[in-house]
Amino acid sequence: MTTTTDATSFADGFFLLGSDLPVRRIGLGTMRLTDATGDDTQAGAQIWHAPADPSEAIALLRHAVELGVQLIDTADAYALGESEELVAAALHPYPEDLVIATKVGNVRPSPTEWVPLGNPAYLKQQVELSLRRLRVETIDLLQLHRLDPAYTIADQVGALAELREQGKVRHIGLSEVNIDELREAQLVTPIAAVQNHYNLSARDHEAVLDCSTTAGIAFIPFFPLAIGDLARPGSSIDEVAAELEATPSQVALAWLLHRATNVLPIPGTTSIAHLEQNISATRLELTEAQLQRISPSETTERGQ
């Protein structure tokens, strides 16, 4: 693992997404802003419906922007498009410096199914629907939610590239890809972002992150706070959090921000208090000794 601690990039907390969109390095993921089970809890989240009463979600989205969040991440598969509608209801007309990212390429046949579908005609249709729901003419960052093995990468990414040429998409991203898939997509069109599962306890995509860093591509780790047993009482993360008068979640986010200057975590939450905690993690400075203490060993991160 290589840890980047560029003083200027980390201190100002910004990254230039797609080389032309400056965003603060902690954004907001909207997957949790749904009525997960119908009983107002997030247990066994299915991401199938928008909240019955959207007022709290709308308030949280607006407060996030007030706090300086400039990257809002959603998807057409979250609550069958209702998540995109919720973002628009809360934030449209959007501030000029706000980047809205969405995803297409996953279908939801039932509350428990997420099925990749990369038919180029389908992808184009879903982008048209996302444009309507988000109330925009151009999507700032459109990500292919999952690659579909039934279609070539050239066909899937090429469909998004056509939409970019038409002015309907500004930048293109990928999700859950390996290095070979990223490089193959780059032969079709410039890639501005990669969104993969990554955090302190899930680091299978170290090589993809390093590749993205070298290429100047944003790396957006989803589930950035799902670190489980690493944050137990008495753990190294717990101890470092106590030293910094912070929470383990804040330390986990700070570690991601120190990991490389192109890392843009998008922690999701339904709590205003947790939102504020997450954003304040940008102010945590971890020493090299603290970084070494909380980082799993090379053998642990590779599952050996």
Residues belonging to the active site: 78
Angle at 103 between CA 217 and CA 122, to 5 degrees: 125
Cα–Cα distance, 191 to 161 (Å, whole number) = 10
Sheet holding 139-144, edge to edge: 28-29, 71-73, 99-104, 139-144, 169-175, 193-197, 218-222
- In a 3-state reduction of DSSP, which class is residue 171? strand
Task: Give the whole-angstrom CA distance, residue 162 versus residue 62.
Answer: 33
- Residue 293 burial class via C-beta count within 10 angstroms: exposed 0-12, middle 13-18, buried 19 and up: middle
Q: Is the CB of residue 1 less than 8 Å from the CB of residue 295?
A: yes
d(CA 70, CA 17): 11
**What distance in Å separates the CA atoms of residue 119 and residue 256, rounded to the nearest whole number?**
34
CB 141 within 8 Å of CB 133: no
How many Cβ atoms from other residues are within 10 Å of residue 40's Cβ?
Answer: 11
